[in-house]
Every structure is written in structure tokens, then in C-alpha cells.
């Protein structure tokens, strides 16, 4: 009996203490809060910056994995311990409740009817040293938007396909950053990077990337990972700076000999593609205008001696007729056969964005490339 009375007394003391603590903690939403949104195919870091003027809150949101900063939060309110905000541009809203000590916000992110659990914490609370950080770097009068994270050497440099940048690597960069230094970026005129000088050829792009890496303190050697037309860009980079490249991974890359085949056999498709590019943003149009120059620059390249090179070919592409896709893979085989020790993997049941549909394969291929000695 005495033991039950003692336990009841202890329970009362604990609960009374917690209630007092809860009442005494003043919720202060101002400042930066970081959370990870598990979207299934990718885990996206989100950072909300909350400010207060008088009694009114305002905020902006960053999505570093997608290369986006300063996204507008249209409304944000705090009612007791419940924080709510809405972003009309994303058709999204969030509702979360502050913990008793005010150190985190646990809630739910809703976008277009889909719900995702999302907990925000102050930066530094359980944050990984490999967290990805956005940086703006001046490369000669215009800034490039870089996403940098991880540790080690060689560094892994991601180059997106035509018209794409940081966001195209959101399924793999964070995982690779767990075992390597990583950089993805938006080329000039794409994402949140400034427009750059023309022509936007592969050599111009490689030169700017080289300056950005140097200014960011990301030193060679580099393992270059290029997707689609990014394969053209990394080949030119490797040719320009051969002593700084330790390996290449080409993900369903564009190939100049395939472009030659298209011009002879499917000229109409090329004209249709050019018409679509003409409707795009200025940065995309500028890259499109320089594709023939970039193909010519790639044709003149040599792969640095004794580096591991792996080429992944997708077997499915609904945007391309069957005959063309057969030739696409044939040209991959022909090119990789010219690279001593080059490895060709044909990836079954996968479309053009292999890094999205089979991220583990891409991550493992990068890891294997890093582990091979030059």
C-alpha cells in the first residue's frame, strides 16, 4: 500500500512538473528550421526562415536538394503551439505543433491532396556533417547556384541533362554525400543561376564549372557524372582538364554520332524538338542554340588515360521511336568500345532518367568508380 501511494505521489510530481514546464516555455518561431520531407523517390531537405515584425509573421522556404531558395510563403500563423503556413505557388500547406520545449515542430506537409509527415528542427540539432548547402559563386560576372555537401576525395561532380540542374540529382546526391564530397549545380541561365555569356557551348560550360569548383574550395581529382546532354559536357570537361579527372559515369548520355543519324533519318523530329526549345526560357534556348557546337567539341575530345568509365543505357524511352532507340544504344556501344577498360551496362525496364527510377544502381556505380584506383 505504501509503495502504491509513493508511486502515485511520484507520478503526480512528474506530471505537475511537465505541466509547469509546458506553461513556462514561450514558443518562439522566429529563425531557421530544417526538416526532411520523405517524398518516396527522394528525401528532400526543406529550410523555412521565419521572421516577425511586430505581431506579424512572415517566411520563405528553401529546398536545397532542388536548388531553390527564397520560395514565397503566402501566409503563416501561430495559434497557441500550432504553426500553419501556405504556399500557393506549390499548392502546398503545412500544419505542425511545437514540442513542449519548443525545439521542434512535428506536423504534416500537404501538397495537391498528398500528405507527408514533416518535422522541423533548429539547424544543428542532429544535423549530419554531410548536409547539402547551397552556394552562389561568381564565375566571371555572373553567379552559378551550387549544392555542395559531403567529404572526401575524389569529389563527385554531377552534371544535369539539357535544361536541368540540381533538381535532377535529388534522388542520389544526398546518398552519395554520405561517402564522398559532392557538387551539383544549375548551369548559367538555369534554375537560380544567372544568365551567362554566349555561345553556351560545352567548352564555355566546362570553363565556368572549373572556376566554380576552384572558388568553392572543391579541389581535384573529380569523378564526373553526366546525364543525357550532361554526358557531352563532362566529356569536354575531362578533355580540357585531364589531370584533374579520376573517373566518369555517363547516364544514358547524348552522343554526337546518334545526332548525325537523326539528321539523316529523322530530320522532322529534330525540327519538332527545336520548335519546343524555342518556347522555353532564355537559358534553355541559349543551350539549345549551341548544341551543334557542343557536339563538335565532344567529337574532338579524348578520354583521359587509365580512368574508369562506365556508361549506363536505358532500355525504355517513350519519347523516342523504337528504331531510334535501338540506334541510341548501338551508338553507346560503339563509343564505349573506344575507351580502354570502359564498361557498358544496359539497364532493363528503365527510362531515360535512370537516377530517378534506379537510384541505387547509380549510387553503387559511383561508389565503385570512386573505389577504383587510377
Homologous superfamily of 133-371: Alpha/Beta hydrolase fold, catalytic domain (3.40.50.1820)
Highest mean pLDDT among 18-22, 47-51, 318-322: 47-51
> Is residue 7 helix, strand or coil?
helix
Dihedral of CA 166/172/175/179: which sign? negative
Look at residue 16 and tell me whether its pLDDT is greater than 90: no
Q: What is the pLDDT of residue 67?
A: 87
Mean pLDDT is lowest, of 70-84, 213-227, 286-300, for 70-84
Query: Packing angle between helix 282-289 and helix 291-299, nearest 10 degrees?
Result: 40
Facing residues of 33 across strands? 48
> How would you classify the pairing of strands 245-251 and 56-63?
unpaired
Look at residue 15 and tell me whether its pLDDT is greater than 50: no
Q: What is the pLDDT of residue 3?
A: 43
Q: ω into residue 46 within 30 of 0, thus cis?
A: no
Give helix then strand counts, H and E, for the chain: 11, 17
Domain 31-121 has CATH 1.25.40.340: no
Average pLDDT over residues 7-29: 50
Q: What is the pLDDT of residue 373?
A: 58
> How would you classify the pairing of strands 309-314 and 245-251?
parallel
Q: Hey, how many other C-beta atoms are within 10 angstroms of the C-beta on 194?
A: 16
What tens digit of pLDDT does each residue of 123-173 get?
Answer: 875 455 567 999 999 999 999 999 999 999 999 999 999 999 999 999 999
Same fold, 31-121 and 133-371: no
Sorted by where each begins, the domain ranges of the chain are 31-121, 133-371
Q: What is the pLDDT of residue 130?
A: 60
What is the reported pTM?
A: 0.83
Q: CA-to-CA distance for 363 and 199, rounded, in angstroms?
A: 33
Amino acid at each position: 500500500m505504501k509503495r502504491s501511494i509513493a508511486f502515485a505521489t511520484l507520478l503526480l510530481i512528474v506530471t505537475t512538473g511537465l505541466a509547469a514546464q509546458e506553461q513556462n516555455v514561450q514558443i518562439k518561431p522566429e529563425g531557421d528550421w530544417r526538416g526532411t520531407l520523405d517524398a518516396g523517390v527522394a528525401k528532400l531537405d526543406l529550410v523555412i526562415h521565419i521572421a516577425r515584425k511586430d505581431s506579424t509573421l512572415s517566411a520563405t522556404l528553401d529546398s536545397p536538394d532542388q536548388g531553390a531558395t527564397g520560395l514565397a510563403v503566402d501566409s503563416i500563423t501561430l495559434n497557441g503551439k500550432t504553426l500553419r503556413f501556405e504556399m500557393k505557388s506549390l499548392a502546398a500547406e503545412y500544419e505542425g505543433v511545437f514540442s513542449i520545449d519548443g525545439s521542434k515542430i512535428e506536423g504534416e506537409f500537404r501538397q495537391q491532396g498528398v500528405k507527408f509527415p514533416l518535422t522541423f528542427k533548429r539547424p544543428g540539432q542532429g544535423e549530419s556533417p554531410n548536409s547539402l548547402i547551397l552556394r552562389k559563386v561568381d564565375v566571371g560576372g555572373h553567379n552559378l547556384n551550387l549544392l555542395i555537401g559531403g567529404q572526401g576525395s575524389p569529389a563527385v561532380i554531377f552534371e544535369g541533362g539539357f535544361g536541368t540542374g540540381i533538381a535532377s540529382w535529388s534522388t542520389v546526391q544526398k546518398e552519395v554525400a554520405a561517402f564522398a564530397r559532392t557538387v551539383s549545380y544549375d548551369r548559367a541561365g538555369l534554375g537560380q543561376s544567372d544568365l551567362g555569356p554566349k555561345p553556351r557551348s560545352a567548352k564555355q560550360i566546362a570553363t565556368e564549372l572549373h572556376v566554380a569548383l576552384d572558388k568553392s574550395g572543391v579541389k581535384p581529382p573529380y569523378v564526373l557524372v553526366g546525364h543525357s546532354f550532361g554526358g557531352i559536357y563532362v566529356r569536354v570537361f575531362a578533355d580540357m582538364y585531364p589531370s584533374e579527372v579520376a573517373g566518369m559515369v555517363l547516364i544514358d548520355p547524348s552522343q554526337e554520332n546518334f545526332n548525325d543519324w537523326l539528321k539523316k533519318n529523322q530530320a522532322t523530329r529534330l525540327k519538332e524538338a527545336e520548335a519546343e526549345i524555342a518556347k522555353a526560357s532564355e537559358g534553355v534556348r541559349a543551350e539549345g542554340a549551341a548544341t551543334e557546337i557542343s557536339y563538335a567539341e565532344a567529337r574532338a575530345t579524348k578520354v583521359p588515360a587509365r580512368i574508369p568509365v562506365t556508361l549506363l543505357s536505358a532500355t525504355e524511352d517513350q519519347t523516342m521511336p523504337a528504331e531510334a532507340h535501338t540506334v541510341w544504344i548501338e551508338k553507346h556501344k560503339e563509343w564505349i568500345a573506344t575507351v580502354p577498360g570502359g564498361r557498358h551496362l544496359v539497364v532493363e525496364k528503365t527510362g531515360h532518367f535512370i537516377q530517378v527510377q534506379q537510384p541505387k544502381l547509380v549510387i553503387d556505380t559511383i561508389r565503385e568508380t570512386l573505389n577504383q584506383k587510377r
